[in-house]
């Protein structure tokens, strides 16, 4: 959040929130979807599954199930690739001559081709963003289980209210600091609740 000339940012699975004057700006995704807590923000944008799979194959040959598990692992379990997504994408990559496949021990194994490596070089920036985003999701995965859905609505409302209050505060440092103080108290209350719960468990 911006207070006077100050600006604040934090990293989230759906992108880095950077709040400057005018209190808006998501790098890596729209705020409205609220990342994994919302339905609008997808882990992969159109065309990115293709590049992600190609990137994983650049590390060595793999069969389809290995790719499914690696995609899940790279997101901290927050993205679960389906066979209905992975296998058609593999077929597309093979049709484009970016990978080849062969049967080994009863399993179809996929390998990247020189054309596939050249495609990764051309799309290096996009590939870097894919795995950077995956890293952010992985960092948050410990805290974003199914129970997180219970607070998705209230959390979105709190954030919206905070941004609206900051906007109404204008250039007044006193009013801006008041918004920050409210949020800081809420954070400390939540942390205290966690400490109390841990203490109860030990008794």
35 and 87 co-located in one domain: no
Per-residue pLDDT of the chain (203 residues; tens, 9 = 90+): 444 444 444 444 444 443 333 333 333 333 333 444 443 356 777 888 999 999 999 999 999 999 999 988 877 676 788 899 999 999 999 999 999 999 988 889 999 999 999 999 999 999 998 888 777 765 665 666 667 667 778 888 888 898 899 899 898 999 999 999 999 999 899 888 888 866 666 66
Q: Is the residue at 158 inside a domain?
A: yes
Say what the pLDDT of residue 13 is.
47
Kindly report the CATH number assigned to the domain that includes residue 114. 1.10.10.10
- The whole domain housing 110 covers 48-140
Could you tell me the pTM of the whole model? 0.55
Does residue 136 belong to any structural domain of this protein? yes
The set of residues, in sequence order, having a beta carbon less than 8 Å from that of 162 and lying 6+ positions away, is: 1, 179, 182, 183
In a domain, 126, yes or no: yes
Q: Domain boundary at 91, 113, 140, which?
A: 140
* Residues 162 and 179 occupy one common structural domain: yes
User: Which of 100, 121, 140 is the last residue before a domain boundary?
Assistant: 140
Pair (108, 90) in one structural domain: yes
| 103 and 84, same domain (yes or no) | yes
Q: H or E stretch including 125?
A: helix 124-140
* Cβ–Cβ under 8 Å, residues 109 and 63: yes
In a shared domain, residues 59 and 127: yes
Same domain? 94 vs 58: yes
End-to-end CA distance of the chain: 40
Residue 75: inside a domain, yes or no? yes
Reduced to 3 states (helix: H, G, I; strand: E, B; else coil), residue 33 is coil
Domain shared by 156 and 78, yes or no: no
Run of H or E including 112: strand 107-112
The residue out of 140, 158, 176 marking a domain boundary is 140
Judge whether 1 lies within some domain. no
Residue 25, pLDDT score: 37
Please tell me whether residues 68 and 21 are part of one structural domain: no
Which residues have a Cβ under 8 Å from the Cβ of 76 and sit 6 or more positions away? 137, 138, 139, 140, 141, 142
Domain count along the chain = 2
Per-residue confidence (pLDDT) for residue 143, from 0 to 100: 66
Residue 77: exposure state from Cβ atoms within 10 A (0-12, 13-18, ≥19) = middle
3-state secondary structure of 175: helix
Residue 2 lies in a domain: no
Q: What is the pLDDT of residue 140?
A: 61
Are residues 55 and 81 located together in one domain of the fold? Answer: yes
Q: Is there a single domain that holds both residue 107 and residue 122?
A: yes
User: Do 69 and 115 lie in a common domain?
Assistant: yes
């Amino acid at each position: 959040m911006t207070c006077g000339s100050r600006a604040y940012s934090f990293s989230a699975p759906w992108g880095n929130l950077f709040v400057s004057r005018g209190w808006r700006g998501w790098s890596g995704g729209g705020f409205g979807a609220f990342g994994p807590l919302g339905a609008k923000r997808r882990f992969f944008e159109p065309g990115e599954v293709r590049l992600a799979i190609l990137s994983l194959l650049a590390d060595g040959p793999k069969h389809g199930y290995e790719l499914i598990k690696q995609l899940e692992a790279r997101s901290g379990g927050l993205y679960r690739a389906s066979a209905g997504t992975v296998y058609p994408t593999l077929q597309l990559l093979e049709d484009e001559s970016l990978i080849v496949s062969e049967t080994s021990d009863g399993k179809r194994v996929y390998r990247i081709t020189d054309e596939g490596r050249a495609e990764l070089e051309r799309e290096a920036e996009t590939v870097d963003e894919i795995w950077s985003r995956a890293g952010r999701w992985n960092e948050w995965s410990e805290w974003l289980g199914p129970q997180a859905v219970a607070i998705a609505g209230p959390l979105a409302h709190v954030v919206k209210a905070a941004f609206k209050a900051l906007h109404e505060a204008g250039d007044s440092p006193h009013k801006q600091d008041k918004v920050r103080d409210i949020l800081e108290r809420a954070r400390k209350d939540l942390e205290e609740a966690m400490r109390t719960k841990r203490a109860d468990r030990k008794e």
